[in-house]
């Protein structure tokens, strides 16, 4: 266990992983799952978890064994400098593309729901400008902001769940396997990369005051966000009938249209939008900081913070490549998630096999 002067503890790791993955319940990810899962989409996160969890635990086991290394350092130590840097560069590319694709998704949501007259590039620029400002403040500031805002963001999510629960009809989850067990399992397995952010956060492994606190925070947050995601997918399935669940582009925001708090509180969806925006900003602060960190580690750039600005700019440029929101979601995002799942499942296994052959795991 390493000790160092750091304000980052398990609570910051817990908050960051929850915000990174948990914000996906409010974007177009549920709609993407519903294209195949229909009214059984709430089962798909469990299938994805079963596929990805062994690799997650294996990677964290290796980090514990090597103790004082972050993700890129672990890759280079186990696989050698050249191969390790190649794998790390692939990780950089994957998370950069994810940032661009999901950034476009959030931009389209903001534009369609709240700023229909604003140009898409302008909304995209504002989103990433705020994320850039936060990312430049450093990891400890990002961790503290995640912890501070976590309670308020999740309190708003819990309030929405309580208010919408009376609108749910449990019978809508039947037939229990939706369009069939086979397509449900196949698609759930393909989309296991929905939990890929748990790999990105391992770059900060040595930045916490102890490795135990980091693992405790991330893995407990991972368990929390899995339960939250499953519960909200269940809410979507029981609120919208099977004929409409796969046609709802933004189910989280549709839920905010269903709820009311009396005649005094109108436009209640604006209240939830504020906290949703905070979560989105923090997510992209984390993304910008960590992809810059990975790139800097690959090319031996110790002062990588100046890279945050160009990656924010190129993230906007890459995010504007899809012609429209439909192509971005149903073509780019869906295909890319399917493509990267085998990578996240496989590379921890490769690390473990090489470390086992080298005899490093005996110590």
Q: Has residue 294 been placed in a domain?
A: yes
Compute the C-alpha angle 297/131/23, nearest 5°. Answer: 95
DSSP state letter for 355: H
232 falls within a domain: yes
Q: How many CA atoms lie within 13 A of 326 on its CB side?
A: 2
Answer whether residue 338 is part of any domain.
yes
State the maximum Cα–Cα separation within the chain, in Å, rounded to a whole number.
Answer: 69
pLDDT of residue 20: 95
- Judge whether 48 and 196 are in contact, CB under 8 Å: no
Task: Encode 9-37: b = buried (16+ Cβ within 10 Å), e = exposed.
Answer: bbbbbbbbbbbbbbbbbbbbbbbbbbebb
What letter would DSSP give residue 264? S
Contacts of residue 103, Cβ cutoff 8 Å, sequence gap at least 6 = 124, 127, 128, 284, 315, 316, 319
Q: Report the pLDDT value the prediction gives residue 278, as an integer from 0 to 100.
A: 92
What pLDDT score was predicted for residue 5? Answer: 55
Peptide linkage before 66 cis (omega within 30 of 0): no
How many domains is the chain built from?
A: 1
| Tokens coding 98 | 């994810």
- Asked if residue 2 belongs to a domain, the reply is no
Q: Residue 272's domain spans which residues?
A: 10-362
d(CA 322, CA 126): 19
Say if 127 falls within a structural domain: yes
In a domain, 3, yes or no: no
Q: Provide the pLDDT for residue 221.
A: 96
Rounded Cα–Cα distance for residues 274 and 123 (Å): 16
Q: Is 1 a member of any domain?
A: no
pLDDT at 41: 93
pTM (predicted TM-score): 0.94
- Label residues 270-287 b or e (16+ Cβ within 10 Å = b): ebbbebbbbbbbbbbbbb
Per-residue confidence in pLDDT tens, the chain, 363 aa: 545 556 788 999 999 999 999 999 988 889 889 988 888 999 999 999 999 999 999 999 999 998 889 999 999 999 999 999 999 999 999 999 999 999 998 898 888 877 888 898 999 999 999 999 999 999 999 999 999 999 999 999 999 999 888 888 898 888 899 888 999 999 999 999 999 999 999 999 998 888 888 999 999 999 999 999 999 999 999 998 777 777 887 888 888 887 766 555 566 777 788 888 899 999 999 999 999 999 999 999 989 999 999 999 999 999 999 887 778 877 889 899 999 999 999 999 999 999 999 887 775
Q: Which residue is listed with tokens 């390493």? A: 2
Measured between alpha carbons, how far is residue 72 from residues 63, 66, 199, 300 in Å? 11, 12, 11, 11
Output the domain CATH number for residue 332.
1.20.1740.10
Rg (CA), the chain: 20
Structural domain includes residue 4: no
**pLDDT of amino acid 71:** 94
CA 105 to chain centre: 13
């Amino acid at each position: 266990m390493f000790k160092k002067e750091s304000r980052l503890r398990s609570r910051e790791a817990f908050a960051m992983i929850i915000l990174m993955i948990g914000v996906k319940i409010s974007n177009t990810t549920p709609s993407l799952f519903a294209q195949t899962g229909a009214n059984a989409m709430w089962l798909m996160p469990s299938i994805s978890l079963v596929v990805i969890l062994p690799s997650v635990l294996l990677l964290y086991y290796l980090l514990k064994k090597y103790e004082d290394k972050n993700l890129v350092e672990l890759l280079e130590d186990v696989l050698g400098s050249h191969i390790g840097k190649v794998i790390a560069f692939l990780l950089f590319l994957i998370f950069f593309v994810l940032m661009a694709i999901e950034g476009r998704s959030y931009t389209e949501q903001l534009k369609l729901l709240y700023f229909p007259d604003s140009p898409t590039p302008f909304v995209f620029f504002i989103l990433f400008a705020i994320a850039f400002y936060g990312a430049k403040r450093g990891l400890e500031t990002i961790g503290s902001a995640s912890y501070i805002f976590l309670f308020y963001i999740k309190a708003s999510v819990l309030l929405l769940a309580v208010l919408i629960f009376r609108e749910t009809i449990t019978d809508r989850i039947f037939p229990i396997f939706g369009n069939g067990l086979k397509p449900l399992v196949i698609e759930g397995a393909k989309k296991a990369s929905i939990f890929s952010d748990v790999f990105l956060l391992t770059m900060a492994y040595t930045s916490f005051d102890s490795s135990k606190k980091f693992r405790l925070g991330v893995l407990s947050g991972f368990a929390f966000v899995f339960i939250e995601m499953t519960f909200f997918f269940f809410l979507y399935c029981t609120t919208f009938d099977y004929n409409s669940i796969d046609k709802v582009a933004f189910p989280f925001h549709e839920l905010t249209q269903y709820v009311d708090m009396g005649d005094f509180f109108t436009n209640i969806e604006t209240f939830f939008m504020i906290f949703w925006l905070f979560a989105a900003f923090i997510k992209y602060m984390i993304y910008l900081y960590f992809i810059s960190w990975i790139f800097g580690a690959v090319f031996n750039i110790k002062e990588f913070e100046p890279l945050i600005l160009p990656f924010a700019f190129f993230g906007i440029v890459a995010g504007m490549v899809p012609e429209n929101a439909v192509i971005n979601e149903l073509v780019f995002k869906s295909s890319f998630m399917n493509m990267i799942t085998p990578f996240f499942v496989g590379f921890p296994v490769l690390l473990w096999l090489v470390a086992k052959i080298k005899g490093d795991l005996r110590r």
